[in-house]
Structure 1
Amino acid sequence: MISPDEPRLPVSDCLVEIGDAIAKQLPVVLKAPPGAGKTTGVPPYLMETSVCGSGKILLIQPRRLAARSAAARLASIVGTTLGDDVGYQVRFDKKVTRNTRLIAMTTGILIRRLQDDPLLEDVSCVLLDEFHERSLEVDLALGMLHRIRTTLRPELSLVVMSATLDPQPIADFLGNARAIISEGRAFPVDIKYTKTTSRDRISEQVVGVLPDVLRSTPGHVLVFLPGVGEIRSTHRAIVDRRLDRDATVMELYGDLSPGDQDAVLGPSDVRKIILATNVAETSITIPGVTAVIDSGQARVMRFDPHVGLPKLMLESISQASADQRAGRAGRTAPGVCHRLWPAAANTARRQLDTPEIARGDLSDAVLTLAAWGEKDVMAFPWLTAPPLDAVDQATELLRRLNAIDESRNVTETGHRMIRLPLHPRMSRFMIEAAHDSIVPDAAIVAAILTERDPFRGRMRPVVTHLVACDISDRLECMKRFRNGDSSAVENAPAARQILRVADQIKRMVDRSDAQPSRVVSDHPIQAALLAAYPDRVARRRKPGDARGLMVGGRGVKLDPGSACRDGDLFLCIDVDGRGTEASVRAATTIDERWLDKRLMLEIDEPFFNPTLAAVVARRRRYFDDLMLSESPIKCEPSAEVAALLARHAALNLENVFPAKDKDIAAFIDRVRFLTEHMPELELLPMDDAGVRDVLEQLCQSRTSIKELKTAPWLDHLKSRYDWQTLQSIEQYAPAKMKVPSGNSITVHYAADRRPWMEVRIQELFGWSTTPKIAGGRIPLQLHLLGPNYRPQQITEDLQNFWNETYAHVRKELRRRYPKHHWPDDPTEAEATTRGLKPRP
């Protein structure tokens, strides 16, 4: 029951409309500004009216702090003890019972609940709060809930709540949804800017404006800072300047203990200066805040291609986030907001935050969907479709991690990875490192890779390389720092954060059923890193060389100070991809025996050796697409060998094809002659394409150019035609023609010339007319020779030669060759091969 003492909220004017839409099983998209009461007004109304049924109501928050804070406030509003009717569930902490009706939880907890209970059978309503932040998780949750509603549970109520987004596109996406806008109620906030962009540290900028802010308003002051490091340095600066004389300086960030968080959020008679990260930007209410100092920066989770993991990166906030922060000063009274950037620079900021799905790594989402039965990521109902290349990259990474198979089914290893709320790389790493003896060390390594570098890019000369692993060096430094050696790191706050995260990761693994999938080596950290980075394996270009080639074909170069000085293979963990050759800032030597056998491949590869002018073969061993070794093997004829030989022979065909061979040239000329003069025969043309066809046939059983040059080309050229066609070629374009002397005389063919025959006159005695070929269409050109085989006459009309010219030629030949037979009538005479007069 909602307490009657609770003030009326601006969103109250919309509650009946929200209830009406839910009663009609319509999704609701609510836009309401900060302070309108989305988080604290809508859930109690749904509980009290039961308009959405008697099941549980899940209030989804983007952060653990917001979920705990919202649950505490809602429990107070409905007059119950936290953990009874109203509770919360976040990582490592929950206050719920079987009878808890309203549960505030983070988006990650919802997604894992959807994996265990795809229908949310005991849930009647889900509220997605602060949807404007557009994290990948909340986009994924929206799509999963939309899929459930449109397929199996149309009665599941869904309310999407945002402070800044236009509700209509979301309503259109959900289909027949009710878009509702609450105008809210806010007091005026006086926005002030610095005159110029300062290069001072943020802590110095804050203490520079804090005195004016304290004088301008009597309420609490909320200072937005990028992270815990800046909070600590600003806290020290405030104390050093004695600006805390009339106020208490308090810190607020996500990893703060629940008790400390409650102290910050609770009422106080003492003025507070609250130093907070962006956890205070949305969802939570801090009573009595009337002043905001905004650094304009935040550490936001972004994909870091250097280490292949999401990392918190410093960046400028959007205009929408700046307005959200300023609004915190005007929730209960007029306020002031001092922005630490010039007014002119405000318009240069992007208006809205870019959805994470458009800029982040998708491997976690792809694995989640695969486990949920959604193998086609692009067919999933996304509010904003992810880039296809990012989906492909994520899918390929998951295959390499052995999280999914080729059909995108989740493997046994993949199911273990899902149970660890870490990036898939780190889940795989921790599974491989899940021996009791190395989990603590592995957790530190995982934290080193996902948090800020405590060494600022350089190692202290505090350790000697214990093993050939740069990460092990960092691990050793962190262990020394934990044991009190502050000189082991460059950035102590970053190191402390790493140790905090490491403790969290260790607790995750301890609570999971993660077991090692294999025992690989005497160097488990290095081997576990290999399991997490199979796409970062590299091979040296030559022994001792700092340069190498990485999976994917990218050239890499080890840092001069790297511990990886020996060994053929190394793992590139932190890679700066700028430039033509990527710089490897952290690496580890690996043993080939540790490589995942699934990704190993042995290929016998033929290739053309130009020096030998032949196809030779080698056996290559690969990990993924990275060649590990090669050795020569005997090259046997095959289709692949034939194709290689044909391709290279064709590039130099004039030196391979024996075009000067008389028999080959003659056959080609005969076919071309008939192609022109007897097209009805429909002969296959004897052109370059035909020669290449024959070349490919000859290559089937050969491996060298030398063998091709001596191959039976003529037989293969003739084999293009069947027996009947070859008979037609012989009949209509004979290679030789039998003359009256009984000799068979060669018939010559050439382009742009009449076919001709060179024959001695005496061998034609008895012929009266010129012979014809091509079915009688083309008369042969006769080159008539004397006994000395020198031309005497060229004619295409033998009868005319006998009648008009022979007598003159005979007279001269009789004088020169008196012993030869020169009859008066050659058409009646007997032809002779010797040409001498017949004996009486």
Structure 2
Amino acid sequence: MSPDTLPVEDVLPALKAALAAGLNAVLVAPPGAGKTTRVPLALLDAPWRGDGCIILLEPRRLAARAAAARMAATLGEEVGRTVGYRVRMDRRVSAATRIEVVTEGVFTRMIVDDPALSGVSAVIFDEFHERSLDGDLGLAFALDAQAGLREDLRILVMSATIDGARVARLLGKAEIIESRGRMFPVETRHSGRDAGRRIDDETAAVIRRALGEESGSLLVFLPGQAEIRRTAERLADTIPAGVEVAPLYGALDFAAQDRAIRSPPPGRRKVVLATSIAETSLTIEGVRVVIDSGLARVPLYEPATGLTRLETRRVSRAAADQRRGRAGRTEPGVCYRMWDEGQTAALAPFDRPEILDADLSPFVLDLLAWGVDDPARLAFLDAPPRAAFDEAMALLSRLGAIDGDRRLTAEGRALAGLAMPPRLGHMLRTAATMELGGVAGALAALLAEPGLGGNGVDLRDRLGHLRSARDQRSRDALALGVRFARMVGADPALDGAAIEQAGLLIAFAFPERIAMARGAPGAFVMANGRGGVLDPADALARQDFLAVASLQGAAENARILSAAPLTLAEIEAEFGSAILEEETVAFDETTGSVRARRSRRLGRLVLGESAAGRPSETAVVAALLAAIRRRGIGALAFEGAAGALRARLAFLRRKAGEDWPDVSDEALQATLDDWLAPHLLGRRRLDAIDATLLHEALAALIPWDRKAMLDRMAPTHFEAPSGSRLPIDYSDPSRPVLEVRVQELFGLDRHPSIADSVPLTLHLLSPARRPIQITGDLPSFWRGSWRDVRADLRGRYPKHPWPEDPLAAPPTARAKPRGT
């Protein structure tokens, strides 16, 4: 094979034959095979194409533009003639274009707008293993169109790491063609990771090591833009002369991205600091060293809160192999993995399909625009999760986009035509009625493009910077905002005063993310009940209210990435119908009493609160019971007679069975409404539930026919031979205890018992009430150890009688009379 020949060319005849004989095919080709740029060109002369266009889908704009440029160069043409591209905010196509490279989201809009795909002969899904939501949806729509409208449409799915058989079944038992790759040997070195160091410090150290050990340029994978920026700062003035550091991530303008993937000048080296944007479909010339942090930042949607947050995760083994492969595209290379070798086996085999973790509201809106309300009617490799699907339907209902039969309303059709997430579409349409369409259009463009207008949290500042920026990416974003505004018939002017309304517009899109300050500066709670934090030094940290657009980290206390201030007056004016005024009766933990409050709530936010009138007895009792349930049954004062009665009842239930009430902690906690509630009328404080009340409540549990048996079977006291009435301790229901001075039992020849046959455990005491012996058999004690006990007691208590025969002696609680 010559250097200019790519491995995929060996299977092009088989691929062309498969698409001539059938409609669908699957091409499995490893990195470096050349599938992205060779396959579309090879299909240009296929007879079935006629004069139709070939659409090539790429997961990212950078990859789409690079693929179009490479194919155009192969043909010796400019991009926009035979080969063109169409991505958000940029397109280069003409009437002569026959291969159009598009991003997956653009294709979804194309096919929803024209289900028959007029003028299209083939659709190629490249890098399908990435399993983006738009990729899965686009393939489902294409297969549905093929089955009902376009029986001549060819569909080709291409990937490096995918279960080809599974995809082939989805495509109707399509033929699978496999190609060899062309990857030079790559040596893998595991550098490990010090968990105590920041990832950027650790990465910078590995970069310096690699620059010293290896030749060529470096491609470094980091999880996000912030880590790229900090790593670049760590490298400044610490790397050799002649080494250029180039960032590469999606938020960069196209010119900066192109500079990053361009070969360095002769004699110079490049360190490309990239996100996962560089994993696939790109060959960066001169790179023979890859450094992999092993991390990626992925969006994670939580249906319960409606939040999509960014989470840093370990990459999958498939992604790690893709990254490693970047080092061997043009020559033998080296990959430094920043983890221990044994940890590789613990990585997930593949990335999770986005359909399992994403906000499905745009997906469901597109489904409904397609005429489908049940995803089971289309062909998906993985079905969307029911919880996320139902939440998306609920959101569309709240936006007025669907009716009770889950059909699109006029509002829904309008939102579907805006080619943006339904939340932002709703914001844009609402803003148009308030003469805020220009700022809403710019805001929609800004939120769709991370990094525009800077990285500050305050969206007003970012809109201001965007308005005055002169770089091409900012100008393209402003043009997109103008287009958005005009789509809803609004004045596209971006007025400086209107920018101050950014918080209100964000609230229209994300009402559950209206946030209110709580506690220390920078701490907020949102209407959905989740927390958000800002740096206390941030200018927004002391605002009373914010509207939050994006967050990162744990949803319980996520870091707010973008927001704008909001006032209470704006909330009341625009969200008044969602504010509930209610009277609550609740237990106040501070005062220990039940209080009635009148509150105004927006979701979980308490916008205002005041004292209410006297609550009903029923509400007070319910609040007291709720407090007891939270604190546990131990919050009740089972003391004195109440505690004693409870212990006696526990003993009788153990001894005599279930005819006696269950007074265990678990049973009392579970039946508070039955045994305690009737006795709480007139009480408003927890400490008013005293031992007397509890004794009455427990006594009421005893069945009528058992009340007379209580004192007989479980007496409170034992009458000793001396005449003393001594209390019986039932704390241990299996062993009732009687504490008694030993001389009070003189003359007693049988062991004391209760409940007909249960012996009391005797704790025998000295005259000073110090323990001398524990026994469950008093006669044996008299016959046995009494002799030794007597000798000891005579020495310590000589004024008391200690007879040799205790059974013949009279019981006494006193000392010997004087003179005896």
TM-score interval, smaller chain = 0.5 to 0.7
- Does structure 2 retain, via aligned residues, the 8 Å contact 1:440–1:502? no
- Does structure 2 retain, via aligned residues, the 8 Å contact 1:311–1:450? no
Q: Which position in structure 1 is the counterpart of 2:482?
A: 510
Are 1:58 and 2:50 matched, yes or no? no
Q: Which position in structure 2 is the counterpart of 1:262?
A: 258
Residue identity matched to 1:343? E
Correspondences of 1:311-460 after superposition (within 5 Å):
311-434=309-432, 439-440=438-439, 443=442
Residue identity matched to 1:291? V
Q: Which of 425-434 and 331-340 deviates more?
A: 425-434
Partner Cα separation in structure 2 for residue 144 and residue 105 of structure 1: 16
Deviation by residue 1:42-94 (Cα, 9 ceiling, x = unmatched): 11110134454331001100000000000000111123221110111111111
Deviation of 1:441 (Å): 7.5
Are 1:13 and 2:10 matched, yes or no? yes
Deviation of 1:216 (Å): 4.0
SS for the counterpart of 1:433 is helix
Are 1:32 and 2:29 matched, yes or no? yes
Partner Cα separation in structure 2 for residue 189 and residue 36 of structure 1: 16
Q: Gapped runs of 5+ residues in structure 2?
A: 492-496, 518-522, 583-598, 609-820
Deviation of 1:623 (Å): 9.5
Deviation of 1:479 (Å): 7.0
Q: Which position in structure 1 is the counterpart of 2:38?
A: 41
- Does structure 2 retain, via aligned residues, the 8 Å contact 1:440–1:506? no
Q: Which position in structure 2 is the counterpart of 1:128?
A: 125
Correspondences of 1:191-202 after superposition (within 5 Å):
191-202=188-199
Task: Identify which of 70, 74, 96 aligns with 2:71.
Answer: 74
Task: Identify which of 262, 269, 276 aligns with 1:272.
Answer: 269
- Does structure 1 retain, via aligned residues, the 8 Å contact 2:316–2:349? yes
- Does structure 2 retain, via aligned residues, the 8 Å contact 1:57–1:103? yes
Are 1:594 and 2:574 matched, yes or no? yes
Partner Cα separation in structure 2 for residue 314 and residue 538 of structure 1: 24
Partner Cα separation in structure 2 for residue 319 and residue 119 of structure 1: 39
Deviation of 1:333 (Å): 1.4
Residue identity matched to 2:64? A
Q: Which position in structure 1 is the counterpart of 2:510?
A: 533
- Does structure 1 retain, via aligned residues, the 8 Å contact 2:29–2:179? yes
Partner Cα separation in structure 1 for residue 454 and residue 603 of structure 2: 33
- Does structure 2 retain, via aligned residues, the 8 Å contact 1:433–1:525? no
Q: Which position in structure 2 is the counterpart of 1:752?
A: none
Deviation by residue 1:728-767 (Cα, 9 ceiling, x = unmatched): xxxxxxxxxxxxxxxxxxxxxxxxxxxxxxxxxxxxxxxx
SS for the counterpart of 1:161 is strand
Q: Give the direction of change, closer, same or farther, for the CA distance of 1:373–1:225 in structure 2 (3 Å limit).
A: same
Partner Cα separation in structure 2 for residue 227 and residue 350 of structure 1: 20
Partner Cα separation in structure 2 for residue 71 and residue 201 of structure 1: 38
Deviation of 1:373 (Å): 1.8
SS for the counterpart of 2:205 is helix
Correspondences of 1:153-172 after superposition (within 5 Å):
153-172=150-169
Partner Cα separation in structure 2 for residue 208 and residue 565 of structure 1: 43
Deviation of 1:437 (Å): 5.5
Q: Which of 173-182 and 34-43 deviates more?
A: 173-182
Task: Identify which of 220, 226, 234 aligns with 2:217.
Answer: 220
- Does structure 2 retain, via aligned residues, the 8 Å contact 1:600–1:622? yes
Correspondences of 1:451-530 after superposition (within 5 Å):
474-475=458-459, 506-512=478-484, 513-515=486-488, 524-525=501-502, 527-530=504-507
The two structures have a TM-score, normalised by structure 1, of: 0.59
- Does structure 2 retain, via aligned residues, the 8 Å contact 1:131–1:160? yes
Q: Give the direction of change, closer, same or farther, for the CA distance of 1:168–1:419 in structure 2 (3 Å limit).
A: same
Deviation by residue 1:690-747 (Cα, 9 ceiling, x = unmatched): xxxxxxxxxxxxxxxxxxxxxxxxxxxxxxxxxxxxxxxxxxxxxxxxxxxxxxxxxx
RMSD value, Cα: 4.7
Q: Which position in structure 2 is the counterpart of 1:83?
A: 80
Q: Give the direction of change, closer, same or farther, for the CA distance of 1:407–1:506 in structure 2 (3 Å limit).
A: farther
Residue identity matched to 1:208? A
Partner Cα separation in structure 1 for residue 208 and residue 280 of structure 2: 26
- Does structure 2 retain, via aligned residues, the 8 Å contact 1:307–1:575? no
Partner Cα separation in structure 2 for residue 627 and residue 198 of structure 1: 41
Deviation of 1:178 (Å): 1.0
Task: Identify which of 276, 282, 285 aligns with 1:284.
Answer: 282
Q: Give the direction of change, closer, same or farther, for the CA distance of 1:107–1:579 in structure 2 (3 Å limit).
A: closer
Residue identity matched to 1:509? G
Task: Identify which of 140, 143, 146 aligns with 1:146.
Answer: 143
Q: Gapped runs of 5+ residues in structure 1?
A: 460-470, 485-495, 541-545, 604-619, 630-840
Partner Cα separation in structure 2 for residue 22 and residue 47 of structure 1: 12
- Does structure 2 retain, via aligned residues, the 8 Å contact 1:189–1:327? yes
Partner Cα separation in structure 2 for residue 344 and residue 441 of structure 1: 50
Q: Give the direction of change, closer, same or farther, for the CA distance of 1:68–1:447 in structure 2 (3 Å limit).
A: closer
Deviation of 1:263 (Å): 3.4
Q: Which position in structure 2 is the counterpart of 1:183?
A: 180
Are 1:113 and 2:86 matched, yes or no? no
Correspondences of 1:434-833 after superposition (within 5 Å):
434=432, 439-440=438-439, 443=442, 474-475=458-459, 506-512=478-484, 513-515=486-488, 524-525=501-502, 527-534=504-511, 588=566, 589=568, 590-595=570-575
The two structures have a TM-score, normalised by structure 2, of: 0.61
Residue identity matched to 1:144? F
Residue identity matched to 2:92? K
Residue identity matched to 1:159? L
Partner Cα separation in structure 1 for residue 446 and residue 2 of structure 2: 47
Q: Give the direction of change, closer, same or farther, for the CA distance of 1:208–1:592 in structure 2 (3 Å limit).
A: closer
Are 1:298 and 2:261 matched, yes or no? no
Q: Which position in structure 2 is the counterpart of 1:707?
A: none
Deviation by residue 1:642-696 (Cα, 9 ceiling, x = unmatched): xxxxxxxxxxxxxxxxxxxxxxxxxxxxxxxxxxxxxxxxxxxxxxxxxxxxxxx
- Does structure 2 retain, via aligned residues, the 8 Å contact 1:167–1:180? no
SS for the counterpart of 1:240 is coil
Q: Which position in structure 2 is the counterpart of 1:102?
A: 99
Partner Cα separation in structure 2 for residue 49 and residue 557 of structure 1: 56
SS for the counterpart of 2:236 is helix
Q: Which position in structure 2 is the counterpart of 1:252?
A: 248
Residue identity matched to 2:188? I
Task: Identify which of 66, 88, 92 aligns with 2:89.
Answer: 92
Partner Cα separation in structure 1 for residue 34 and residue 551 of structure 2: 46
Deviation of 1:157 (Å): 0.6
Partner Cα separation in structure 2 for residue 187 and residue 320 of structure 1: 18
Residue identity matched to 2:256? D
Partner Cα separation in structure 2 for residue 447 and residue 309 of structure 1: 19
Deviation of 1:409 (Å): 3.0
- Does structure 2 retain, via aligned residues, the 8 Å contact 1:442–1:525? no
Q: Give the direction of change, closer, same or farther, for the CA distance of 1:527–1:357 in structure 2 (3 Å limit).
A: same
Q: Give the direction of change, closer, same or farther, for the CA distance of 1:62–1:584 in structure 2 (3 Å limit).
A: closer
Deviation of 1:271 (Å): 3.4
Q: Give the direction of change, closer, same or farther, for the CA distance of 1:98–1:430 in structure 2 (3 Å limit).
A: same
Partner Cα separation in structure 1 for residue 236 and residue 554 of structure 2: 42
Partner Cα separation in structure 2 for residue 138 and residue 547 of structure 1: 37
Deviation by residue 1:588-609 (Cα, 9 ceiling, x = unmatched): 4344553487x89999xxxxxx
Residue identity matched to 1:256? L
- Does structure 2 retain, via aligned residues, the 8 Å contact 1:248–1:270? no
Q: Give the direction of change, closer, same or farther, for the CA distance of 1:424–1:77 in structure 2 (3 Å limit).
A: same
SS for the counterpart of 1:398 is helix
State the structure with more CA Rg.
1
